[in-house]
């Protein structure tokens, strides 16, 4: 059985994932955040999340379909885990490249057949082949990831971890480095840091307790590692994240961007509107939203452009409305950040 829900999420609310879940964003404009990383390319994708993760919507105009799967035994399948155990980024299926996936997510088929989307999507994931590996190589990589997910809180050195993986019959060190671009040590460090972010943001544990629970040798070392990676101490990060309260700063800056992004692109303008210096605004955006103000401005421009393209407006008209001096300047900008030209984007949408 599965629970299917269509809803409009609250802006900046943290939605904790309690079971294996598929998120299908039906409409919206803005970015999403999953486990402290912001994503801007969620359009036309099925997003898979497992228990312990969270998702946050950084705009108030999203409409989302959420499918929660209750049959946990399904997810012990080695082929299925590739959807949920993300390696260096968010796991997703590109629906524009998966006709069968789209048919399962249609309004008519959804209620009766939504569980089948897991099998279809896992096949599609291997077909997309994000790390250019064979299926056998992926199994070794994800076996190693399973070990890291289970052992990250133990006080293991990188040598201990590699030996543990090798003891189980996997010679994964070189394979992971070659295919993913990260060492086993990097994956372990990343996992431990991600879990420490959750502990700092979502619990009332003191920093010393968190550092001990996650296998750091002492809280001073944990503070140094945390600040080097995040740019803030654990205490500062906890104060800035403040997930239980509505983030008025993020809401204010997003509303300003919606109102002025077609006219104003200078950081100075937004800093003046927020009564902050450019440096203070940039730092606060980075701390609160895990991205840059420039990236947010570009995102608003791209999303506005996509809506205008789908309305049938010409490139000349769109470029003028968005403040580009020449249509070819807009086309280059759009292709750089969307990876397709305006005409290719329109064709993809109409053929989907």
DSSP for 164-188, please give it. Answer: HHHHTT---HHHHHHHHS--HHHHH
- pLDDT value for 166: 75
- pLDDT value for 349: 65
DSSP track, 232-289: S-HHHHHHHH-TTS--HHHHHHHHHHHHHTTT---HHHHHHHTTS-HHHHHHHHHHHH
- pLDDT value for 112: 56
What CATH number has the domain spanning 248-351? Answer: 1.10.10.60
- pLDDT value for 37: 83
Tokens of 3: 């629970």
Domain ranges of the chain: 2-128, 135-240, 248-351
- pLDDT value for 197: 92
Beta bridge partners of 69: 2
- pLDDT value for 115: 65
- pLDDT value for 97: 80
Nearest to 330 by CA among 305, 293, 311: 305
- pLDDT value for 247: 66
Tokens of 283: 């730092």
The secondary element (H helix, E strand) that includes residue 117 is helix 116-128
Residues belonging to the chain: 352
What is the Cα–Cα distance from 114 to 306, expressed in whole angstroms?
Answer: 29
> 3-state class of 36 per DSSP?
coil
> 3-state class of 78 per DSSP?
coil
pTM, entire model: 0.75
Mean pLDDT (10-residue bins), the chain, 352 residues: 84 89 85 84 85 87 87 82 85 81 66 72 90 89 88 78 72 85 87 92 92 88 91 87 70 86 91 92 80 87 89 92 92 89 79 53
Give the CATH class of 135-240.
Answer: mainly alpha
Q: What is the pLDDT of residues 244-259, one digit of tens each?
A: 665 678 778 888 988 8
Give the CATH class of 2-128.
Answer: mainly beta
* Matching fold, domains 135-240 and 248-351: yes
């Amino acid at each position: 059985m599965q629970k299917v829900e269509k809803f409009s999420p609250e802006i900046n609310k943290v939605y904790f994932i309690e079971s294996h879940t598929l998120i299908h964003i039906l409409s919206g404009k803005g970015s999403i955040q999953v486990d402290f990383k912001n994503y801007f390319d969620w359009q036309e994708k099925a997003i898979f999340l497992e228990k312990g993760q969270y998702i946050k919507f950084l705009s108030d105009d999203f409409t989302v379909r959420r499918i929660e799967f209750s049959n946990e035994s399904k997810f012990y399948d080695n082929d299925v885990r590739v959807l949920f155990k993300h390696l260096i980024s968010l796991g997703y299926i590109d629906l524009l490249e998966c006709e069968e996936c789209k048919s399962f997510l249609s309004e008519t088929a959804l209620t009766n057949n939504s569980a089948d989307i897991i099998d279809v999507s896992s096949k599609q994931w291997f077909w997309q082949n994000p790390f250019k590996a064979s299926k056998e190589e992926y199994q070794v990589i994800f076996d190693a990831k399973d070990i890291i997910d289970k052992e990250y809180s133990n006080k293991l050195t990188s040598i201990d971890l590699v030996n543990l993986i090798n003891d189980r019959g996997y010679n994964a060190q070189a394979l992971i480095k070659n295919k993913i671009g990260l060492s086993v040590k990097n994956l372990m460090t990343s996992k431990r840091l991600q879990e420490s972010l959750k502990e700092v943001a979502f619990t009332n544990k003191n920093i010393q307790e968190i550092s001990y629970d996650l296998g750091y040798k002492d809280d001073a070392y944990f503070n140094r590692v945390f600040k080097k990676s995040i740019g803030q101490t654990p205490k500062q990060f906890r104060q800035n994240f403040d997930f239980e309260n509505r983030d008025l700063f993020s809401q204010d800056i997003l509303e300003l961007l919606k109102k002025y992004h077609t006219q104003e692109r200078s950081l100075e303008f937004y800093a003046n509107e927020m009564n902050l210096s450019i440096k203070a605004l940039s730092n606060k955006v980075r701390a609160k939203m895990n991205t840059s103000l420039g990236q947010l401005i570009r995102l608003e421009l791209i999303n506005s452009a996509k809506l205008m393209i789908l309305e049938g407006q010409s490139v000349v008209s769109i470029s003028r409305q968005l403040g580009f001096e020449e249509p070819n300047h807009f086309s280059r900008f759009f292709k750089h950040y969307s990876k397709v030209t305006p005409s290719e984007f329109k064709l993809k949408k109409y053929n989907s």
